[in-house]
Copies of this chain bind each other. A is one copy, B any other.
């Protein structure tokens, strides 16, 4: 069946706000644009959607092409469709929100990106298009979501200490948390499994390493638990 609708169409892009956590604060992954417009400026990785791929697939493809990242946590964020947001002409962008375990994969620029680099998310450089707004939206989503869903584990290595987890939450929420209360609550969720291992190469008492137990988590979700932390 042919399309009966024959008006001109906006271009359709995907852009990814990729967040990581390191050295006590949130990072965002930016690429340096190799093409006009905004050539030489920092931007979120992204590109145009092809006819034969879904939006999710397009987002993963662009992310892999421009930064080398694969197998990251990815979900749709918001669709930005102001008329003048792209100087080339009408372009609608479906923004995605990605979380990566920093240190497990190296990023490498490719295709039309000159460079890919992590920046502090709170003080990123000026961005191309309306990407600053997309980034703001992503940080807001993270702040909200982390209160109800144990999503923070997507930002930590597979094994982590409770102090690392606490620092992550403090960075996301922007305020200090009480150590004893935090540990009590975190363990009470029932999705942290203590390993027999400890932190290595530290100049003080070594902390126990925990891992996030996805199986237990999945079971609890089915029972309707919610996971405020």
Contact = CB atoms under 8 A, between A and B. Distances in A.
Interface of A: 1-5, 7-12, 35-37, 48-56, 58, 76, 78-79, 81-83, 87-90, 92, 94
A79 B54 contact: no
Contacts of A90: 51-52
Contacts of A82: 54
10 contacts: A1-B36, A1-B89, A3-B89, A4-B36, A7-B50, A10-B51, A12-B92, A52-B83, A53-B83, A79-B94
A87 B3 CA distance: 9
Main secondary structure of the interface of A (DSSP, over half): loop
Contacts of A92: 12, 49, 55, 94
A145 to B, nearest CB: 11
A12 B93 CA distance: 11
Given A7-B48, A10-B51, A49-B92, 17 more contacts: A1-B36, A1-B88, A1-B89, A2-B89, A3-B11, A3-B89, A4-B88, A5-B48, A9-B9, A9-B51, A51-B90, A52-B90, A54-B82, A55-B79, A79-B79, A79-B94, A92-B94
Nearest to A90: B51
Nearest to A84: B54
Contact of A78 (B2, B3, B52, B76): B76
A29 B87 CA distance: 37
A36 B5 CA distance: 11
B4 A35 contact: yes
Contact of A54 (B2, B36, B81, B89): B81
A2 B86 CA distance: 11
A1 B87 contact: yes
Given A10-B49, A12-B10, A92-B12, A1 B55 contact: no
